[in-house]
A = this chain, B = another copy of it.
Amino acid sequence: MKMSNMLISTLREVPAEAEIDSHKLMLRAGMMRKMAAGVYNYMPLGLKVLKKVEDIVREEMNAAGAQEFLASAMIPAELWQESGRWDAYGAEMFRVKDRGDRDFCLGPTHEEVFTDIARNEIKSYKQLPLNLYQIQTKYRDERRPRFGVMRSREFVMKDAYSFDKDQEGLDIAYDKMHDAYVNIFNKCGLDAKCVAADSGAIGGSNSAEFMVKSEVGEDDVVFCTECDYAANIEKAYSAPEKEEKQDFKELRKIETPNIKTIEDLVNFFKTTEKRFAKTIIFNADGKIVAVMVRGDREINEVKISNAIGEVMNLELASAEEVKKATGADIGFAGPIGIKVDILLVDEEVANMYNFIVGANETGYHIENVNYGRDFEGIVGDYRNVTEGEKCPHCGGKVTIARGTEVGHIFKLGTKYSEAMNANFIDEDGKEKPFIMGCYGIGVTRTVASIIEQHHDENGIVWPLSVAPYHISVIPVNVKDEEQVKVANKLYEELIGMGVEALLDDRNERVGVKFKDSELMGIPMRVTVGKKIVDGEVEFKLRTHEMEVVKISDVCDIVKNEFHKNNLKLR
């Protein structure tokens, strides 16, 4: 492309609307422009990168045996009503009525649609396994769209859905997608770590996220500092602390007037948070649930929801509900004599001795409480992991970092096929629901994440595989006929080799051209200046020093860069 013909929209100033580097650079390099909050227009430079990432995704999905499909973005409400998600999805779903007053949504995801396709098109186990994917614009009305395309409302997603006749088939499909995702992010030059994720009520090791470390990430990810263990905080587990065994002491009710917080209690009892077990009461879809964790721990609501079953709404109980369950004001709940539907006891609490709890009586606590003797409940892991705890795999210390999810693989099982009556006839002649998996990649978010990992003070540093153009050819002085001639010839040669080259034939100072090339992140640069009299030009990799090279060597140097990056020239 000749830059004199190109819409170049580089900005020298940092736009006020952008908070993070990728957002700033996508605006400054002229990759995109904001249309509305969380809604962007892709300019030619941004679209080229987006298409390259899409092509990498497509190549690996096809190699994994998946077939490309394209569903409509408009989805009739009826399908979502069948799965029960029309009401459940809430304000995040964009809804639209047609002229006949029929309800549609703009697909935020497509499980229902693909389940519907499968039940219509797949009759027999002979047609299985099958994996259908699409690269499509999705719509989610985020409460707080921000960080450019990292969290936007109209975005490009790759979503795939696998259909199998049994669990073994699903396991294979899931592993194939895992491997495809590893390849995709590698080819994009993105360091994305596969971490165990919560998979909702389905449970088990059925879901993993591909996370990119990022200070502005929406998720906390727990990493072991010594082994490979990594998990989303929602799912992460740590080895529980266990107290040394002690003899059970006698229960003692103690007046604790005007005490409301754990801090008050610590001061009152002159001890540490670890001596207390706090009892928090929730309303889970109408059920009253008490959860006990050690005084210094945080409750993990995702784990609570999973322990109870599928919970749509998990909320702290009202003062009234607390009063009904405990007979006391808030701040004095405890396990002894509490009237709740479910009592969940964190495994650490079950391993404590002679600890302090609320007395279910306003102004009182009880000490020397012991699990088993004084109360019982459902023991499990209900707490958040914290920095420095022990890794459940190797016992090493864990650390917590913020991360952004760029991919998610998920064993759905029969959740949708059962709800939507999507069955096939198995080898034994019986009708069975499809065993499904779903697999997403945030394509636009991947583009932004690549920039987050690949930039410097001068701009973007594209990996060659996704660069919008591979090389800039820059004549220093466009009024110098010889320079223009050499630059044009090099440009034509590179184009002829299948290299995507830019010729900066604008009548601008060379400094402006360098700045634009660096800001746009073009991986290679050839500067055609006065040295042509000696048959030489300047060659520069984006993050390396400039070298003087022979004009006749440029094409080989470029070829070699493709070779080093495992990329083919056509």
Contact = CB atoms under 8 A, between A and B. Distances in A.
A137 B73 contact: yes
Interface string A44-61: 100110100000000000
A141 B69 contact: no
Given A7-B121, A121-B9, A127-B7, A41 B69 contact: yes
A139 B94 CA distance: 15
Given A35-B75, A47-B69, A96-B106, 17 more contacts: A9-B121, A33-B117, A35-B74, A36-B104, A39-B74, A39-B76, A41-B72, A41-B113, A41-B117, A47-B70, A73-B73, A73-B137, A73-B154, A98-B153, A99-B143, A106-B106, A570-B570
Contacts of A143: 99
A71 interface: yes
A520 B47 CA distance: 33
A43 interface: yes
Contact of A96 (B9, B50, B96): B96
Nearest to A40: B72
Q: Which 6 A-B pairs have the closest CB atoms?
A: A42-B70, A44-B67, A91-B99, A41-B71, A96-B96, A39-B72
Contact of A43 (B44, B69, B95): B69
Nearest to A110: B41
A412 interface: no
A74 B33 contact: no
A74 B41 contact: no
Contacts of A153: 74, 98
A292 interface: no
Given A96-B96, A104-B36, A7 B74 contact: no
Contacts of A102: 36
B99 A6 contact: no
Interface of A: 5-7, 9, 33, 35-36, 39-44, 47-48, 50, 65, 67-76, 91-92, 94-96, 98-99, 102, 104, 106, 113, 117, 120-122, 127, 130, 132, 137, 139, 141, 143, 153-154, 570
Contacts of A76: 35-36, 39
Contacts of A94: 74, 96, 98
B35 A65 contact: no
16 contacts: A7-B121, A7-B122, A7-B132, A33-B120, A35-B71, A35-B76, A39-B74, A43-B69, A47-B68, A47-B69, A47-B70, A73-B137, A74-B94, A94-B96, A94-B98, A95-B96
Contacts of A122: 7
Contacts of A40: 72
Contacts of A68: 44, 47-48
Nearest to A104: B36
B69 A35 contact: no
A355 to B, nearest CB: 45
A33 B70 CA distance: 11
A570 B132 CA distance: 27
A14 to B, nearest CB: 17
A141 B41 contact: no
Contacts of A98: 94, 141, 153
A44 B65 CA distance: 13
Nearest to A102: B36
A76 B41 CA distance: 12
Contacts of A41: 69-72, 113, 117
A95 B132 CA distance: 30
A205 B513 CA distance: 42
Interface centre among A70, A91, A113 (most CB of B within 10 A): A70
Nearest to A70: B42
Contacts of A35: 71-72, 74-76, 113
A39 B153 CA distance: 22
Contacts of A43: 69, 121
Given A72-B39, A141-B98, A130 B570 contact: no
A117 B153 CA distance: 20
A74 B141 CA distance: 12
A152 to B, nearest CB: 9
A137 B94 CA distance: 17
A523 to B, nearest CB: 21
A242 B70 CA distance: 57
B154 A72 contact: yes
Contacts of A48: 68
A92 B100 CA distance: 11
A59 to B, nearest CB: 14
Interface centre among A7, A68, A102, A121 (most CB of B within 10 A): A7
